[in-house]
């Protein structure tokens, strides 16, 4: 079978779903690899590099016609979805909850669609977790972007010209992107504060050299955790306690990086207009939730704005694409691992096993049917273990009797050994 990566059609998208390195791995699984002419150039992968790796460089029309598996980054456009046929499999980000019409189109074409954003968040599927791969890059890039707009050092310095205080960075949300931002910020020497509604991440944050921001809220330990590594909706009282704490921090921090998202909802507003007005001139906010409305009340998606009090708010939604080479390498590896699971015999043939939890969870259309949302994961009940009888607790007298018996046994062993040794020495002397 043939697997192909077309050139991304979304404006400004520089990533590509197949690199020369991943193509070599796919060929080891028995696949013939195709790539659209120029698909990898924006990410630094030339057509010549693909040809050297044994990939056929073809036109876009030929790729959509000939490829049995089409691997993309962004969800397909409606026109691209209509190019699919019943014998094709599409692998890409898809976001089915917000693309129901597109999902219907794919179903109508009879194609199988594997959504990389729907890969279950279980240990076995971590190697295919493209959302985490991209979030890791976004968190790193957010700090670099903040530094580029901040105009001062992250680390403190003492120079002949005077003392330079370190920057103070607040990261809101400690998921994959947040942890990447925390790690980058601390490595650059900034004083890093971090907040998350899941108190269990405090130890992880502190182990990275950052300070966890605690709330004076008695329900904190019970609030905010949800399945799949995401945060849940907070109670109104908890949300108000968050905002109160952020208002206390706003005048003191130089950089704010927000990463908070709730599945299938708009991003929660955590940094309000009055907090922005309280910040020092020259401060920077980088809103990684801009695509879902933003965590900052003033964020404008895909734009960088400067407020009247000289606070820069960065609302870019393409941070992974701004590091296209690294993003493409990681994403293509996620695709390759998915193909490995789809090709258990390594014979270049897709075995779409709907009994496999990972493949079933990520498949949103198959054989002319919509298969999203997936059923709950299978769980195996663990039989109750029979109760073990507790050993009888000995009285002080019984314990003493056991100790005496053990001592006598050990003494007899030593006496026997000494007697045997003496007899042996005597026998040797007689000889």
CA angle 261-14-324, nearest 5°? 70
Q: At 81, phi and psi to the nearest 5?
A: -60, -35
Q: How many CA atoms lie within 13 A of 199 on its CB side?
A: 13
Per annotation, catalytic residue among 9, 46, 98, 126: 126
How many CB atoms lie under 10 A from the CB of residue 400?
11
Q: Is 88 a catalytic residue?
A: no
Alpha helix segments (H runs only) across 355-395:
357-362
Q: Would residue 347 show up in a list of annotated catalytic residues for this protein?
A: no
Residue 243: what are its φ and ψ, rounded to 5°? -60, -40
Q: For residue 132, indicate whether it is catalytic.
A: yes
DSSP-derived secondary structure letter, 420? H
Using DSSP bridges, classify how beta strands 89-92 and 32-36 pair: parallel, antiparallel or unpaired.
unpaired
Supply 214's token pair: 């605690």
Q: Specify whether the CB–CB gap between 151 and 238 falls below 8 A.
A: no
Q: Which residues of 27-45 are buried (b: 16+ CB within 10 A; e: fewer)?
A: bebebbbbbbeebbebbeb
Annotated catalytic residue, options 109, 132, 185, 327: 132
414 annotated active-site? no
Told to judge if 126 belongs to the known catalytic residues of this protein, a careful annotator would answer: yes
**Gap between the Cα atoms of 375 and 395, Å rounded:** 57
C-alpha 374/C-alpha 370 separation (Å) is: 10
299: tokens are 């964020």
Of 68, 129, 254, 318, which residue is the catalytic one?
Answer: 129
Selected catalytic residue, list 230, 235, 341, 349: 230
Cα–Cα distance, 142 to 177 (Å, whole number) = 9
Separation of alpha carbons 24 and 77, rounded Å: 28
Q: Distance (Å, rounded) from C-alpha 231 to C-alpha 160?
A: 47
Please check whether residue 288 is in contact with residue 319, taking contact to mean a CB–CB distance below 8 angstroms.
yes
- Asked if residue 368 lies in contact with residue 86, where contact means CB atoms within 8 angstroms, the answer is yes
Crossing angle for the helix pair 176-187 and 130-150, to the nearest 10 degrees = 40
d(CA 417, CA 180): 66
- Give dist(CA 414, CA 322) in Å, integer: 78
Using CA of residue 253, residue 157, residue 173, residue 217, what is the dihedral sign?
Answer: negative
Catalytic choice (47, 74, 95, 121): 121
Q: How far is CA 15 from the centre of its chain?
A: 18
Indicate which residues carry an active-site annotation. 121, 126, 129, 132, 230
């Amino acid at each position: 079978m043939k697997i192909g990566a077309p050139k991304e059609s979304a404006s400004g998208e520089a990533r590509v779903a197949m690199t020369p390195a991943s193509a070599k791995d796919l060929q080891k699984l028995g696949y013939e690899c195709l790539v659209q002419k120029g698909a990898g150039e924006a990410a630094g992968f030339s057509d010549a590099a693909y040809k050297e790796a044994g990939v056929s460089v073809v036109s876009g029309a030929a790729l959509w016609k000939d490829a049995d598996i089409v691997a993309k980054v962004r969800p397909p456009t409606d026109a691209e979805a209509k190019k699919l046929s019943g014998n094709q499999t599409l692998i890409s980000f898809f976001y089915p909850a917000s693309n129901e019409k597109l999902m219907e189109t794919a179903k109508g074409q009879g194609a199988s669609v594997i959504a990389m954003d729907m890969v279950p968040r279980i240990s076995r599927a971590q190697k295919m977790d493209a959302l985490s791969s991209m979030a890791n890059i976004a968190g790193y890039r957010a700090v670099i972007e903040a530094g580029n707009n901040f105009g001062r050092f992250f680390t403190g310095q003492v120079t002949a010209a005077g003392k330079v205080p370190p920057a103070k960075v607040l990261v809101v949300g400690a998921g994959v992107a947040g942890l990447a931002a925390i790690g980058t910020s601390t490595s650059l020497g900034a004083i890093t504060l971090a907040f998350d509604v899941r108190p269990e991440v405090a130890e992880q944050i502190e182990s990275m050299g950052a300070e966890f921001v605690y709330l004076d809220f008695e329900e904190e330990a019970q609030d905010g955790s949800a399945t799949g590594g995401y945060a849940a909706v907070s109670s109104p009282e908890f949300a108000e306690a968050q905002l109160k704490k952020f208002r206390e921090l706003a005048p003191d921090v130089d950089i704010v990086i927000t990463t908070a998202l709730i599945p299938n909802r708009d991003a929660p507003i955590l940094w309000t207009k009055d907090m922005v007005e309280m910040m020092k001139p020259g401060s920077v906010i980088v809103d990684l939730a801009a695509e879902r409305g933003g965590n900052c009340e003033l964020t404008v998606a895909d734009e960088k704005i400067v407020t009247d009090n000289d606070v820069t708010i960065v609302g870019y939604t393409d941070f992974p694409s701004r590091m296209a080479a690294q993003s493409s390498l990681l994403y293509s590896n996620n695709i390759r691992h998915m193909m490995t699971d789809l090709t258990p015999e390594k014979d270049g043939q897709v075995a779409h096993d709907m009994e496999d939890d990972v493949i079933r969870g990520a498949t949103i259309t198959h054989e002319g049917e919509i298969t999203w949302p997936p059923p709950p994961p299978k769980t195996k009940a663990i039989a109750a273990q029979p109760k073990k009888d507790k050993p009888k607790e000995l009285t002080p007298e019984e314990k003493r009797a056991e100790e005496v018996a053990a001592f006598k046994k050990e003494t007899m062993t030593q006496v026997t050994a000494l007697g045997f040794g003496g007899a042996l020495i005597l026998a040797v002397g007689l000889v």
